Amino acid sequence: MEPIRLLNLALVVIGVCMAAALLTIFGHAARSGWRERRAGPALERGRIALASVGVSPRVDRADVALLKALPRRLQVRLFVELVPSMAGSQRGRLTSLAHDIGLIAAAEWMCGSRKWWRRLSGVRLLTALGGGDNVVPALFRDRHPAVRTEAAEWAGQHGRPEIVEKLVSLLDTPEAVGSWVLRDSLLRIGPACIPALAAYLETRSGARAEPALEVAAGLADPRFGAAAARLCGDPHPGVRARAAVLAGAIGGDALVLRLEWLLDDADPAVRAAAASALGRLGHWPVATRLARMLRDPAWNVRSQSALAMRRLGSPGLLLLRRALDDEDRFAADIARQVLDMPETTAERDQSR
Amino acid sequence: MTAYEVATWTLVKLEWAILVYFLLVNGWYVVLLASAGLEMRRHVLLSRGQARWKMLGSRVVPGISMLAPAYNEAATIGESVRALLALYYPNLEVVVVNDGSKDETMAVLIDQFDLAPIHPIYPRRVSSAEVVALYRSRTHPNLVVVDKRNGGKADALNAGLNLATGDLVCAIDADTLIEPDALIRMVRPFIDDDRVIAAGGTIRIANASRVESGRVVDTRVPRRALPGFQVVEYLRAFLFGRLGWNRLGGNLIISGAFGLFRRDLMLKAGGYLHETVGEDMELVLRLRRTGYEQGGAHRVDFIPDPVAWTEAPESFRVLARQRDRWQRGLADVLWRHRTLLFNPKYGRMGMIVYPYFVFNEMLAPVVEAVGLLGVILGLLLNAIDWPFAILFFLTAYGLGAVLTFMALVLEEMNFHRYHTFGDRVMLVVWALLENLGYRQLTVIWRLKGMWNYVRGSQKWGTMERKGFTTTVKTPPADEVDAGKRARV
């Protein structure tokens, strides 16, 4: 083909593409506007009907009929819009209404789809509305990571023992779901996951124990005590540091002894975590040891020790003021900084 | 052979070389466009119906430290910091770095946020100019202010980095307007994948949009040509270019106006480099490169959601300076990391992404200028016939317009931010007119940037802006000026 004819052809293709793009831009805008205008009154009526479910325990049949008559897309939109603002019995009524109008059945059907995005939408809908006990647990091992992750998020609202067991067992393979989602879901489940998590921690060590230790620290239950004491001696510094945080959250004589022992750990992150944990427990007998740690070569240890001393109250503050005249410039500096710190800021830094 | 014949022969051969370059570049653009389309579809499917609000109640989200360098921002700093403190994120720390301002920036901060001076010691992990004072807010426990000597944006960010305590660090320009839920969107890649080291999002132009309390509340398309051209230019760069690279080997650039990084890796890499005007790109390249060399994480994600807004230059003089600086930064960074070129050790980054940036992003203005001059000379010497030249010109610019139109399609189909008919018409108008004059001007400015780089210029230049809500003019600054910048 001659170059000039090739250019002519290219220009025709360009023209067609531009026309198609223009048509898409303005066509899509017009269609969206039209759909919004058309759905407006129905959405408004649906919002009123749904809101009435929130205030009144009795569900009006007319409201149910109205919601049932809405297209599925609008039903989903209305429920997803309202769900974040409802909890407790109101949320329960909303779930029951979603069941009555067939929304939950539709979401469960979507969970069985061959297309991953449909399964994802299905789980998301069930996470928002409730339900799905029979279909979602199977999705913990879904082919698509996003579906697995969403299934784990769903589990965060379902503290039944078999679900918790499954969720805790996933801690062994964080790459399958994502460590954050697992930790978040377990913390949302709360006390119901303590027995399974404590049993898990009894048998784990090393990097595998880290996410579980973080969750355990958030739940702060004495049933984690044995695991915390054992893991304070783990070969991995990261695990020892997390175990120290857990020990500080639980307290008790045995764990305080472990924490005091960790103040001499070779790893600075562990020493810092132990100092912070002892400050959190208000264990004032270690005040003089913490004062010595203001001379530690690691910034984080000095900083956490000073913050812990401030938290100990009078004994710690007294030693901090004395440290202002310390011959070690680093100890004096960190003492000055922590004493200068506004109250609100110090509290925040200690809780981090 | 006469001189005329030699010149004609050279021009014809040159035109062929340009034609081959043109075909290669545009062929790659088609691949990028297809990749951007697929990525956008994936993003929409993954984020549809996602309950982002749940993250607000989470106790295990990674902590984020926002680093906001400020230089002579007295007029807007209060509002900017309040907007940062009001971002939706449960574990947020704001570190404002006053980079030796000559105006009342520091006094405004002390007054409006009830700052208490604290003893100015900190772990000096990366180098920066001298820190004069440190402050913590009594009313906002998560606000830290660093008062330091002037050293430029990279230096200010390094000072902030030393003070930051979050797992992630978000570097912004002091005048960037951030969407309230931007951090919740941006943190997602880090949560979903441990291999992600940095993430960027779409930066948009806020000129002509209505801004209230540091938030863009009504998105509009500027009616003035210069900011209008930049609106479509930014849309094309982010929705087509950067999104496309997500699938093809990752991005090399995260806009300096808003980017999220892993703090541990930033510290390990030594923070921002002072000796370059392209510090944001240099950091991304260095982090990725280190990841490849040490067998660690090296993934950079781009999120197409509009997460931040910036003000585009409205005068030719300021825009010319900005583009000159971007080009110098690009050339400098690519030269510093020249060993990456076609180096299989760096995977797709070395074999595809880096060469693309060298041969297309950096050398495009040179090729475009040579091509244009060649066509003009060829026509004068009758070496090229007029119909062919006109058709070639129309095809080249038509292809450019098609790419912009496709970016507009992606915006309309997925984000729908410009809601009036008039705004959409204006977007199309600017997309069509952009190729007639504006594009050629940017070529000249970029060539000037290349020339200045060769001469060794490291100037930042100054940035004058109208401001979003009130008219603010930044006074001329030192050689190094922490002015606003957002690389496209």
B244-272 pLDDT tens trace: 998 887 888 898 889 999 999 999 999 99
Give the pLDDT confidence score for residue B472 in this predicted structure: 39
pTM attached to this predicted model: 0.87
Cβ distance B60 to A29 less than 8 Å, yes or no, reads no
> Which of B16, B29, B54 is the best mutation test for A, with the most CBs of A within 10 A?
B54
The proportion of chain B whose per-residue pLDDT surpasses 70, expressed as a percent, equals 92
Cβ distance B61 to A180 less than 8 Å, yes or no, reads yes
Minimal C-alpha gap between B152 and chain A (Å): 27
Cβ distance B165 to A352 less than 8 Å, yes or no, reads yes
CB < 8 Å from B in window 168-207 of A: 178-181, 183-184, 187
Residue B473 exposed, middle or buried by CB count within 10 Å (0-12, 13-18, 19+): exposed
> Is pLDDT above 50 for B482?
no
- Kindly state the helix (H) or strand (E) to which residue A344 belongs, with its residue range: helix A343-351
Cα–Cα distance measured from residue B163 to residue A85, given in angstroms and rounded to the nearest whole number: 37
Q: What domain range is B196 assigned to?
A: 1-50+167-475+483-488
From the list B25, B2, B30, the residue with the least C-alpha distance to B371 is B25
Cα–Cα distance measured from residue B280 to residue B426, given in angstroms and rounded to the nearest whole number: 32
Cβ distance B45 to A117 less than 8 Å, yes or no, reads yes
Q: Are strands B143-148 and B168-172 parallel, antiparallel or unpaired?
A: unpaired
Positive/negative CA dihedral, B384, B388, B389, B390: positive
Minimal C-alpha gap between B337 and chain A (Å): 32
The more confident residue out of B481 and A27 is A27
B447 domain residue, yes or no: yes
The residue behind tokens 């407790």 is A88
pLDDT digits 0-9 by tens, A270-300: 999 999 999 999 999 999 999 999 999 999 9
Residues B416-451 as b or e (16 or more Cβ within 10 Å = b): ebbeeeebbebbbebbebbbeebeeebbebbbbbbe
Cα–Cα distance measured from residue B289 to residue B350, given in angstroms and rounded to the nearest whole number: 9
pLDDT digits 0-9 by tens, B57-100: 888 899 999 999 999 988 888 888 998 999 999 999 999 999 99
> Is pLDDT above 60 for A352?
no
Give the pLDDT confidence score for residue B470 in this predicted structure: 43
Cβ contact B158:B141 at 8 Å: no
Closest residue, chain A, to B55 (C-alpha):
A184
- Kindly state the helix (H) or strand (E) to which residue A86 belongs, with its residue range: none
The residue behind tokens 């984690």 is A224
B85 domain residue, yes or no: no
Q: Interface pTM (ipTM) of the complex?
A: 0.86
Closest residue, chain A, to B417 (C-alpha):
A29
Is any Cβ of chain B less than 8 angstroms from the Cβ of A288?
no
Which chain B residues have a beta carbon less than 8 Å from that of A213?
none
Give the pLDDT confidence score for residue B391 in this predicted structure: 86
- Count of domains forming chain B: 1
Residue B13 exposed, middle or buried by CB count within 10 Å (0-12, 13-18, 19+): exposed
B82 domain residue, yes or no: no
The CATH topology of domain A282-352 is Leucine-rich Repeat Variant (1.25.10)
Positive/negative CA dihedral, A187, A191, A195, A198: positive
Give the pLDDT confidence score for residue B485 in this predicted structure: 35
Minimal C-alpha gap between A28 and chain B (Å): 7
Cα distances from A284 to residues A105, A170, A337, B177, in angstroms, run 58, 40, 21, 47
φ/ψ of B204, rounded to 5, equals -120, 165
Residue B442's pLDDT band (cuts 50, 70, 90): very high
Cβ distance B54 to A153 less than 8 Å, yes or no, reads yes
The CB density around residue A89, as the number of other CB atoms within 10 Å, is: 10
Which chain B residues have a beta carbon less than 8 Å from that of A22?
405, 428
Residue B460's pLDDT band (cuts 50, 70, 90): low
The residue behind tokens 């810092």 is A272
Is any Cβ of chain B less than 8 angstroms from the Cβ of A128?
yes
> Can you give the length of chain B in residues?
488
Q: Which residue stretches of B225-337 are H helix?
A: 225-235, 243-248, 263-269, 279-293, 316-336
Cα distances from A56 to residues A69, A94, A131, B246, in angstroms, run 21, 11, 22, 49
Minimal C-alpha gap between B215 and chain A (Å): 23
Cβ contact A234:A265 at 8 Å: no
pLDDT digits 0-9 by tens, A69-94: 888 888 888 888 888 887 788 888 88
Cβ distance A24 to B409 less than 8 Å, yes or no, reads yes
Cβ distance B60 to A347 less than 8 Å, yes or no, reads no
Cβ contact B106:B207 at 8 Å: no
Q: Which of A260-264, B245-249, B292-296 has the highest mean pLDDT?
A: A260-264
Cβ distance B51 to A84 less than 8 Å, yes or no, reads yes
B276 domain residue, yes or no: yes
Q: % helix / strand / coil in chain A, to the nearest 5?
A: 80, 0, 20
SS (H, E, C) A280-332: HHCCHHHHHHHHHHCCCCCHHHHHHHHHHHHHCCHHHHHHHHHHCCCCCHHHH
Closest residue, chain B, to A77 (C-alpha):
B49
B64 domain residue, yes or no: no
The angle formed by the CA atoms of residues B12, B401 and B311, to the nearest 5 degrees, is 120
The angle formed by the CA atoms of residues A74, A78 and A80, to the nearest 5 degrees, is 115
Cβ distance B405 to A120 less than 8 Å, yes or no, reads no
Cα–Cα distance measured from residue B115 to residue A300, given in angstroms and rounded to the nearest whole number: 24
From the list B62, B68, B306, B57, the residue with the least C-alpha distance to B188 is B62
Which chain A residues have a beta carbon less than 8 Å from that of B397?
none
Give the pLDDT confidence score for residue B459 in this predicted structure: 63
Which chain A residues have a beta carbon less than 8 Å from that of B192?
145, 149, 178, 180
B431 domain residue, yes or no: yes
pLDDT digits 0-9 by tens, B120-168: 899 889 999 999 999 999 999 999 999 999 998 899 999 999 999 999 9
Cβ distance B387 to A32 less than 8 Å, yes or no, reads no
Cα distances from A18 to residues A127, B34, B408, B478, in angstroms, run 42, 16, 11, 47
Give the pLDDT confidence score for residue B483 in this predicted structure: 37
Cβ contact B135:B163 at 8 Å: no
Is any Cβ of chain B less than 8 angstroms from the Cβ of A273?
no
> Is pLDDT above 80 for A325?
yes
Average pLDDT over residues B362-369: 88
Cβ distance A348 to B61 less than 8 Å, yes or no, reads no
> Is pLDDT above 70 for A347?
no
Query: What are the residue boundaries of the structural domains of chain A, listed by start?
Result: 61-155, 282-352
The CB density around residue B141, as the number of other CB atoms within 10 Å, is: 19
B381 domain residue, yes or no: yes
The angle formed by the CA atoms of residues A217, A219 and A222, to the nearest 5 degrees, is 85
Is any Cβ of chain B less than 8 angstroms from the Cβ of A53?
no
